[in-house]
Chains A and B, each alone.
Chain A
Amino acid sequence: MSTYAQKKGIGATIWDYLTTVDHKKIAILYLIAGGLFFVVGGLEAMFIRIQLAVPNNDFVSAGLFNEIITMHGTTMIFLAAMPLLFGFMNAVMPLQIGARDVAFPFLNSLGFWLFFFGGVFLNLSWFLGGAPDAGWTSYASLSLASPGHGVDFYVLGLQISGAGTLIGGINFLVTIINMRAPGMTYMRMPLFTWSTFVASALILFAFPPLTVGLFLMLFDRMFGANFFDAAAGGNTIIWEHLFWIFGHPEVYILILPAFGIFSEIFATFSRKRLFGYSSMVFATVLIGFLGFMVWAHHMFTVGLGPIANAIFAVATMAIAVPTGIKIFNWLMTMWGGSIRFTTPMLYAVAFIPSFVAGGVTGIMNAVAPADYQFHDSYFVVAHFHYVIVGGVVLGLLAGAHFYWPKMFGTMLNEFLGKITFWLFLIGFHLTFFIQHFLGLMGMPRRVFTFMEGQGLETGNLVSSIGAFFMAAAIIILLINVVITSVKNEKVGNDPWGDGRTLEWAIPSPPPFYNFKQLPLVRGLDPYWLEKMEGKKGMMPAEPIGDIHMPNNSFIPFVLSMGMFIAAFGAMYQVDDKPWAIPVLILGLLIVFGSMFIRSIKDDHGFHIHKEDLLDEDDKEVKA
């Protein structure tokens, strides 16, 4: 494999990644693209904190500030957090269930390119007349009045990348249901696979309401419809409902996979079976289910009435129960374990108090009468950053360190990793803890500046200093990545030494067919079980035979680019530009043409022959 890789030029490598349908390469694409957008969103966050560091600051104008906060939220949720999680799901989940690829490799590639082109489209708004400025929730009454094309970029960009996410969700569901290795029953699946499963189900049912909401907004802004225009009989609350019916499950789409990553890390570095495995599965499913019942807690102050508010308040508090079950299970996993404080484990341990703090303020927000006070204040900003950064981002950083050797075959430096961890953790609490008090003192969210003498100076300055700690942490992480890649010290199958699940039983990075022979799974934590019985690897469930693999394809890239082109046409036809409609038609022709070619061209894939697999065995022995 290595000699084969060295022979390839840079052009061939790029072509390989543009056309790949291999879940492990798509995972790397997600990691690179998501990481890039994470840096962009992080820079936007830094601009926000610089602007708010001192009163009456004029670092950015009020209008630009609105664009920055909108793009910060939208980028971080849709273009950074979700794709990074999709990266880990792609890299790890098929290995954890003992599959050779996902169920639909072609769609996997299509999902990535749709997300990528949607994200690029959204960010091009910075250079083409201004970014969206109506907040990441883009409430209709505000976004309909937003001049220019900013909100159009938001609507079309999210529509394209949302389609990619939906495709990814269906793909993961089918993969988990149909492609598990012999013996891998549902109740033997690792927690990360379970949380991928539940998050994918949430994607399947949560994204269509967003699709509809975005369509309605698109029709209103670009084609003269009146859904949200009260003067023509419309109702702006419809957007809020559709957005939050999507938006609340979205929070769980983000946090559940992070919970999954932490569950793997706790068990691995406590060298113990995860405590209360079945209750963990039950709690994950229950959180996913309840996640659909609580969207109106974002709308307590809209005026839905006391009965609606009461029902949604109680439903929201109920989610604390399964979440509490999880917290206690993680604590009990560590209890009596032989703990190793590696970088991933540090993140996992720090995650518990950080996330619990976010959960407690969540319960406070769930109390509808109290929410009338908290609403639209920095208290809410502090709350959701505690769950998203203290939960999801810590999970992503932990996952990056934990799975890096499996994805790239080399370990991130532990010393630099620990520096990253401490800087990030200190910076995170410094930035957001004090924002609770800023909110309670009356500082509203989404304001571009504040006045002197209202007692808000110290809090804001502390918060801004904290943001620089987090930025420094990310810079050190990037340095770590560069150093690690240059050194490129190869590691074996199980670099942490305590791997429990199937992905640690195969080489790092795995061969493109993953498993030469599908493994036989004999229980939960199958690799750990074999190791405890003194065996070196998994027992095969089949003799060595031909392996069927899918062909690479350039169609996903072209199809997604067609969407990207069509979106420009749809947007500029509003200005009566003569070229807009032809561009729209051209884009749609590319989209439907790609679908047509995909439909009529047979793609049977190819086979790796048994003899070649046996040859490779010989080479390994000689080497």
Chain B
Amino acid sequence: MAAEQKYTEATWPSSPERATLEGKNKFLGFWLFLGGETVLFASLFATYLALKDKVPSADHALAKDLFEIPLTFMATMLLLTSSLTSVYAMYHMKNFDFKRMQAWLLVTVLLGAAFLGLEIYEFNHYVHEFKHTFTSSAFGSAFYTLVGFHGAHVAVGLGWILTLMIRNAKRGLTLYNAPKFYVASLYWHFIDVVWVFIFTVVYLMGMVG
């Protein structure tokens, strides 16, 4: 079976993620899954916009009191860079350079973990400095649900990429695991795109009121 065959740089196909039927199915199925995920986040965005700044009384913090650009800008840069490094990893995957791919994936994971750390710090800050919690208001519920869903996706992505890296550390690239690396990187890009929208809709639009 082609999936278990050993390859060299010369025999490695140019689109290894789609070289087998299983790979083709994974590739298409994952794109469709991302379509569904898009609708999921669209629903969360709509809910957030409907409930933005909806608080029970005037002493609750609003978006313009809470958000600060320096922190979220840093988080944005970390995640955007991690998307770039995952592209490098896929570039090396296509060139059958397993070591470099693993190295760039490790950089991706580290950047993603740093992003997650910033997010945890940010949530902690809102809860303790502004008493802005999940249960304090509809605004709080909507904010933590939207941004928290994204954070949970980042955490899942980190676990996924790490599992792939460790599982395949000793056996290198095959047509069996190449599609797995590829769809994990697709997922990572998707998380990044969602964050661009969160940065715009939640933070930038939050600053202007």
Contacts and interface: CB of A to CB of B under 8 A. Distances in A.
Contacts of A238: 47, 50-51
B39 A548 contact: no
A126 B35 CA distance: 37
Given A232-B137, A235-B51, A171 B29 contact: yes
Nearest to B171: A602
Interface string A215-242: 1100110011111010111110010011
Interface residues of A, number: 44
Interface stretch (A200-208, A255-263, A434-442): A200-208
A177 B176 contact: no
Interface string B161-183: 00110010000000010000000
B145 A177 contact: no
B38 to A, nearest CB: 8
B55 A205 contact: no
Interface in B87-101: none
A103 B39 contact: no
Contacts, number: 114
Interface in B43-60: 43-44, 46-47, 50-51, 54-56
A108 to B, nearest CB: 12
A212 B36 contact: no
Contacts of B1: 548, 604, 607
Interface stretch (B7-15, B20-28, B111-119): B20-28
B138 interface: yes
B87 to A, nearest CB: 23
Nearest to A546: B1
Given A208-B37, A604-B3, A225 B141 contact: yes
B161 to A, nearest CB: 11
Contacts of A226: 135, 137-138, 140-141
A523 interface: no
A225 B141 CA distance: 5
A142 to B, nearest CB: 18
B84 interface: no
B35 A205 contact: yes
User: DSSP majority for the B interface?
Assistant: helix
A211 B40 contact: yes
A233 B61 CA distance: 13
A227 B51 contact: yes
B54 A225 contact: no
A224 B134 contact: yes
A205 B39 CA distance: 6
A144 B80 CA distance: 40
- Main DSSP-derived SS at the A contact region: helix
Best-surrounded residue of A205, A212, A238, A245 (most CB of chain B within 10 A): A212
Interface string B136-167: 11111110010000000000000000011001
Contacts of A235: 50-51, 54, 138
B137 A212 contact: no
A178 interface: yes
B129 interface: no
B33 interface: yes
Contacts of A103: 25, 29
Nearest to B166: A600
Given A212-B43, A219-B145, A232-B56, 6 more contacts: A174-B32, A179-B21, A179-B25, A205-B35, A226-B138, A235-B138
Interface of A: 103-104, 166, 170-171, 173-174, 177-179, 204-205, 207-209, 211-213, 215-216, 219-220, 223-227, 229, 231-235, 238, 241-242, 245, 548, 596, 599-600, 602, 604, 607
11 contacts: A170-B32, A174-B25, A204-B32, A227-B51, A232-B138, A233-B54, A234-B51, A234-B138, A235-B54, A596-B163, A604-B4
